[in-house]
Every structure is written in structure tokens, then in C-alpha cells.
């Protein structure tokens, strides 16, 4: 799976948000799910909005990457614009300090990419800046510290070369995966902020459990990853998606029963590009695209405005039946005959990181090809 989120800024103001150094804060080792409630609520809200805006089509998003991209952007925003971005992500700024938000994303990034995560996952951030611009030192330092951003000078006057540079950068960071990020986009741009995530799923035998009778589905573990495969009744997929929430996921997780499952999943090859601007505004990030948006904390040399927030995604899954093995702790009286599930109608894939309970990918498959 390959996902990228692009924040497309063009010339169109900024006091930078100085996220205080949180090194002296209490140890984060017991706070690995600090962002989980906010990120989960944002993820399901975004998923439902996108499904509603693209009826009858495949949908594939990485909510944690979108959250991370917008949180990064807030470091260069001021006043009302900054508050709108963070509140749109579900944060109550009277309860959660900005320093804690950014430090929590820093910690989340480290956990997701750690060698002990059990997942083959690559996630990172890059900022492509027009060669004539210079970042403010505070913005450059904060994005590097909290989000480990790579900053690269780019000649946006030569759009073909600039887009090729960005595509090649993403390809090198995501194990050689090819994605044309700019097939439907055109210059001008002064700065493009990129977040990418690559997640490899091996379809070997992994522990699996059946969910409650409705909706039918299975859940399995891949390292720290938890994968839900949900097969709603025909015509009910949007109803199930609209019911997704933290409480729903908790009920499903609590209702799982151990069983042998024979999953028959078709070959999947889907890709898409979404401009999330209108959806983010509907979700509360109002004014980000207006001329009044204050992004003056990024650079003093040009007034910037957000032209686009673009999501590109690609999912490929080989066709084969997958026989899921029961966990080692399965009772001796468990029936040996597996439950057979054919995913031959629209279905849902939800992939979470179990340790942080982050929404890595939310997928609606209407047409596998």
C-alpha cells in the first residue's frame, strides 16, 4: 500500500507557532495512545465524508498521514488559522497544549517506524520549496524536530522537472513504488508539503478471529497491526461505514471469537486522487483556502495560501485464498473445519496499529479493479 498527502501552497501571512520544547515533559512511555481518541474520531469522520462524496466508488485513505500533514502545517500558521487547523483535527486547545500535540505526533512517528513494531512500514515527510524562498528558522527547526522533515529546493518554474523530482523522491522512499502524483495537478506552486506512507502486507498465515454475526468479518494481527476485513450485507456497506466509531470498533473487538477462517479475497488494484479541501472545510477547517488564511510563519519572502490538500493512494493485493491459522491459545474443542468467507461483494478493510491504535488505512472496495 502506498499513500501520499500533498499540501500545495502557492503565493497569495505568518507568525510561527512556537511549539515549546517538550523534552522536559513527563516521559511519554505511558502515553502511546494519547492521540488515539482525536485521531480515531478524525479518521472515521473523514472516511464517512469521503465515502458520501464519492458514491459507488472505491475509497482508500490513510487518516494518520493526513492528520500528521495538517499538524505540520499548523506550525506555520498563526491565530485563527492555526486554531482552525488543530480544532479541525479534533483537538480542544483549552485542554491540550500545542506543544503536547506536536510532541505526541513526534512520538507516534517514532513508534510506527520503530524496528520492534513488527510492521514493514515506511512513513516520512518532505517539503519541496521554491529555490528563491527561504524558510523561517523557527518553522524549519520545528518541522525537522517534530516531524523529521526533509527540505529540498525545487525550481517550480520548470514544472515538468519539479514534478519529476518529487515523484522520484517518493519512489526512492517507498521501496521503488511508482505513483504519478501530478497527473491531474498543475503549477503554480511555491511550496509542496508531502507526507508518504508505505505499508507492506504479506498474505501468509496470521492469527485470525471472527467478529460478531453482523456485520460478518474477520480480524487478524500482523505484528502490531490489526486488520479488520468486514463483509456487510449487500447494499448495506455505506450504512456500516456511517456507523463506524471508536465505540463501534471497541464492541467489535470485544465480540471477536477464535475460529479458523478461510478467506477468499479477490485481486485488488485500486488507486485514486482526492482533493480534500471541501471535505476538510465541512469538517471544521474553515478558511484555510481563503486569502485571509495566515501562514506567515513559513517564510517572510512571500505570502502563501493553501491551494490544495491532495490525497493519492494505491492498493494492490494478489488474488488467492488465505487460510488463517487460529491463535496458539485456541481451546482444544475449537472446530477444525474453517469458516469460509468469500469477499465477492463490496467490503471494507480497516488497518490499525494496535499499540498506538492509529488508523493506518481505511478502505472501501466496491470494484476490486
Q: Which domains can be identified in the chain, with CATH numbers?
A: 2-201+268-316 (3.30.497.10), 208-267+319-365 (2.30.39.10)
Confidence class of residue 67 from pLDDT cuts 50, 70 and 90?
Answer: very high
Handedness of CA 337, 200, 367, 211 (dihedral sign): positive
pLDDT of 31? 57
Confidence class of residue 118 from pLDDT cuts 50, 70 and 90?
Answer: low
Round the average pLDDT of the chain to a whole number and report it: 76
Q: What is the pLDDT of residues 230-248, one digit of tens each?
A: 888 888 899 999 999 988 8
Whether residue 302 is predicted with pLDDT greater than 60 in this model: the reply is yes
Q: Measure the CA–CA gap between 21 and 99, rounded to whole angstroms.
A: 7
Whether residue 358 is predicted with pLDDT greater than 70 in this model: the reply is yes
Beta bridge partners of 308: 8
Q: Measure the CA–CA gap between 199 and 62, rounded to whole angstroms.
A: 11
Q: What is the pLDDT of residues 284-300, one digit of tens each?
A: 887 788 888 898 999 88
Q: What would the 3-class secondary structure string for 214-258 be?
A: CCEEEEEEECCEEEEEEECCCCCHHHHHHCCCHHHHHHHHHHCEE
As given in the structure block, the three cell numbers for residue 80 are 485563527
pLDDT of 17? 34
Amino acid at each position: 500500500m502506498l499513500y501520499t498527502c500533498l499540501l500545495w501552497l502557492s503565493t497569495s501571512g505568518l507568525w510561527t507557532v512556537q511549539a515549546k520544547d517538550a523534552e522536559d515533559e513527563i516521559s511519554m512511555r505511558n502515553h502511546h495512545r494519547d492521540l488515539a481518541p482525536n485521531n480515531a474520531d478524525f479518521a472515521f469522520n473523514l472516511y464517512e465524508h469521503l465515502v458520501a462524496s464519492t458514491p459507488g466508488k472505491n475509497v482508500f485513505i490513510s487518516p494518520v498521514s493526513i492528520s500528521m500533514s495538517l499538524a505540520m502545517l499548523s506550525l506555520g500558521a498563526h491565530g485563527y488559522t492555526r486554531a482552525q487547523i488543530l480544532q479541525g483535527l479534533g483537538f480542544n486547545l483549552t485542554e491540550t497544549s500545542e506543544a503536547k500535540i506536536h510532541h505526541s505526533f513526534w512520538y507516534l512517528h517514532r513508534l510506527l517506524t520503530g524496528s520492534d513494531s513488527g510492521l514493514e512500514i515506511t512513513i516520512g515527510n518532505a517539503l519541496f520549496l521554491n529555490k528563491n524562498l527561504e524558510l523561517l528558522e523557527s518553522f524549519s527547526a520545528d518541522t525537522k524536530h517534530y516531524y523529521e522533515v526533509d527540505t529540498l529546493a525545487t525550481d517550480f518554474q520548470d514544472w515538468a522537472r519539479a514534478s519529476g523530482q518529487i515523484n522520484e523522491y517518493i519512489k526512492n522512499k517507498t521501496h521503488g513504488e511508482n505513483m504519478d502524483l501530478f497527473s491531474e495537478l498543475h503549477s503554480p506552486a511555491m511550496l509542496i508539503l508531502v507526507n508518504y506512507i508505505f505499508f507492506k502486507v504479506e498474505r501468509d498465515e496470521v492469527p485470525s478471529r471472527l467478529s460478531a454475526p453482523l456485520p460478518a468479518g474477520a480480524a487478524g494481527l500482523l505484528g502490531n497491526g490489526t486488520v479488520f476485513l468486514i463483509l456487510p450485507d449487500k447494499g448495506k456497506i455505506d450504512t456500516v461505514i456511517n456507523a463506524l466509531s471508536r465505540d463501534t470498533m471497541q464492541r467489535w473487538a470485544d465480540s471477536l471469537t477464535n475460529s479458523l477462517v478461510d478467506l477468499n479475497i479477490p485481486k485488488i488494484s485500486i488507486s485514486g486522487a482526492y482533493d480534500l479541501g471541501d471535505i476538510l472545510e465541512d469538517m471544521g477547517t474553515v478558511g484555510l483556502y481563503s486569502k485571509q488564511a495566515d501562514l506567515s510563519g513559513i517564510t517572510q519572502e512571500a505570502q502563501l495560501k493553501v491551494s490544495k490538500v491532495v490525497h493519492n493512494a494505491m492498493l494492490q493485493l494478489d488474488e488467492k485464498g488465505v487460510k488463517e491459522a487460529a491463535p496458539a491459545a485456541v481451546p482444544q474443542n475449537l472446530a477444525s473445519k474453517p469458516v469460509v468467507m468469500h469477499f465477492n461483494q463490496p467490503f471494507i478493510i480497516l488497518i490499525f496499529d494496535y499499540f498506538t491504535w492509529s488508523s493506518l488505512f481505511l478502505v472501501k472496495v466496491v470494484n476490486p479493479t
